[in-house]
Structure formats: structure tokens, C-alpha cells
């Protein structure tokens, strides 16, 4: 995926997908290889996410790597000045200022690897990930497996009725679903069922 020669040039990599798709695992895999190559690596996560650990990022599969908690993207810029590789996990919990900060880091010659949810629990693009996708050199979309039918899952189904956009949780609150099985909140029928209904109505009118 990555070109072989990258000398004194920075870039942005985005790893995105639904929950349980292995985003953090992939971020850990990439940063760990950089550490093995003796590159200076700094990994950050937002203050909001202390589900597993305050000073590590931890995947659902319990891989982990040391990280620093920050309240704002601005702090990442200040704390990553000496680093060659900057990892950022759970990027959807940062505000839009993450985008110019990532650009700045890449322009300084750093490799910036950002992992985050690309859609919220309603299936709506989750800022600032869409903006980061637009400016990134490399994009990896990870997939989970739909718990209902076993197809590749791109959506995060919330299992509770809460309506706040951000509720930090794991398999107690969320599960991965494919397009057919995903049921957006407040709309009981899935997109698939709505399409079927529409098709049936159209066929009846003919
Ligand atoms: Zn499914």
C-alpha cells in the first residue's frame, strides 16, 4: 500500500470503519512497526475515552500500546514536536480543529496515522473523519462482521434508545451490522425494508 521511498516528507493515513472493525488494532500494528524501526512515535487519544486505560490505547482484542490523553488537538501539536510518527485514536471524539492540526503535522514532515469511526450510530458521517479522508494520502476502511447475518459490517448499531451522539461504550451498547441489518434509530424498518416496501408500492401502481 505505501510507496517505498518517503524521505523527509510527511503524510496522513486514515483508518476508519465501524466499531469492532479492528481500527485500533491496525493503528497499534502500524505504530509498533515504526517503534521497531526506532522511529520516534507519539500516540494520542481524547480525554473522553478511558474505557480500558488512561495511558494506553487498547483494542477490543486487548492489544495495547502506551499513549497520552489530550483534551484538544492543539495539545497534540505541542506534544508531538519531536516525533516522526504521530498516532491518533478515536479521532471522532475530537473537534474539527483536528484537521488543520493533522495537516500541520504532515507539513512538518511527520507521518500522521489517524483512526476513528466514520459514521455515528445513525449511520451519519462523523466529523472530523470525512474531512480527514478528503485530505489524507492513504485511506484504509476496516470492516467488522455483521452479528445478524455474517456479512461485512460497515455500521455501528446502538442497542439502547439513548439519543446523544457520543456515548462511550463497547459490546454492552453497540454491535456491528451490515447495510441490510442496520436499523437507524427512530425508524424501525431498515433501509432494506423501506426499499422493499417502496418497490412493492410501485409495482402495485403499475
Ligand atoms: Zn447483516
Distance 26 CA to ligand 1 centre (A): 23
Q: Given the residues 25, 90, 175, 183, select the one marked as catalytic.
A: 90
User: If you count them, how many residues does the chain have?
Assistant: 206
90: annotated active-site residue:
yes
Ligand 1 centroid distance, CA of 187 (Å): 17
What are the domain boundaries of the chain? 11-205
Q: Are 58 and 26 in contact (CB under 8 A)?
A: no
* Largest pairwise CA distance in the chain: 68
Count Cα neighbours of 139 within 13 Å in the Cβ-side half-sphere.
Answer: 13
Give 188's pLDDT tier (boundaries 50, 70, 90).
very low
Span 115-165, pLDDT tens digits: 999 999 999 999 999 999 999 999 999 999 999 999 999 999 999 888 888
Residue 188, C-beta contacts closer than 8 angstroms, at least 6 positions apart:
none
C-alpha cell at 67: 499513549
Compute the distance from residue 40 Cα to the ligand 1 centre, in Å. Answer: 41
Domain 11-205 CATH class label? alpha beta
The pLDDT > 70 percentage for the chain reads: 87
Query: How many Å is the Cα radius of gyration of the chain?
Result: 19
pLDDT-based confidence at residue 167 (cuts at 50, 70, 90): confident
User: What is the β-pairing status of strands 64-66 and 68-70?
Assistant: unpaired
Neighbours of 196 (CB within 10 A): 12
The predicted-structure confidence for 2-33, as pLDDT tens digits, reads as follows: 656 656 799 999 999 999 999 999 999 999 99
Gap from CA of 14 to ligand 1 centroid (Å):
25
Which of 121, 69, 131 has the alpha carbon at shortest distance from 100? 131
Amino acid at each position: 500500500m505505501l510507496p517505498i521511498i518517503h524521505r523527509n516528507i510527511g503524510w496522513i493515513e486514515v483508518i476508519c470503519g465501524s466499531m469492532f472493525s479492528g481500527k485500533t488494532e491496525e493503528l497499534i500494528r502500524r505504530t509498533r512497526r515504526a517503534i521497531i524501526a526506532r522511529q520516534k512515535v507519539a500516540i494520542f487519544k481524547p480525554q473522553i475515552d478511558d474505557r480500558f486505560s488512561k495511558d494506553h490505547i487498547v483494542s477490543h482484542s486487548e492489544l495495547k500500546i502506551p499513549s497520552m490523553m489530550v483534551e484538544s488537538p492543539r495539545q497534540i501539536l505541542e506534544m508531538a514536536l519531536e516525533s516522526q510518527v504521530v498516532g491518533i485514536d478515536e479521532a471522532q471524539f475530537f473537534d474539527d480543529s483536528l484537521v488543520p492540526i493533522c495537516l500541520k503535522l504532515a507539513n512538518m514532515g511527520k507521518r500522521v496515522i489517524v483512526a476513528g469511526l466514520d459514521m455515528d450510530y445513525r449511520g451519519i458521517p462523523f466529523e472530523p473523519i470525512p474531512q480527514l479522508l478528503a485530505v489524507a494520502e492513504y485511506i484504509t476502511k476496516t470492516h467488522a462482521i455483521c452479528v445478524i447475518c455474517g456479512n461485512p459490517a460497515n455500521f455501528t448499531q446502538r442497542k439502547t434508545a439513548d439519543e446523544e451522539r457520543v456515548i462511550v461504550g463497547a459490546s454492552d451498547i453497540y454491535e456491528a451490522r451490515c447495510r441490510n441489518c442496520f436499523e437507524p434509530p427512530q425508524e424501525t424498518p431498515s433501509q432494506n425494508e423501506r426499499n422493499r416496501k417502496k418497490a412493492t408500492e410501485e409495482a402495485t401502481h403499475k
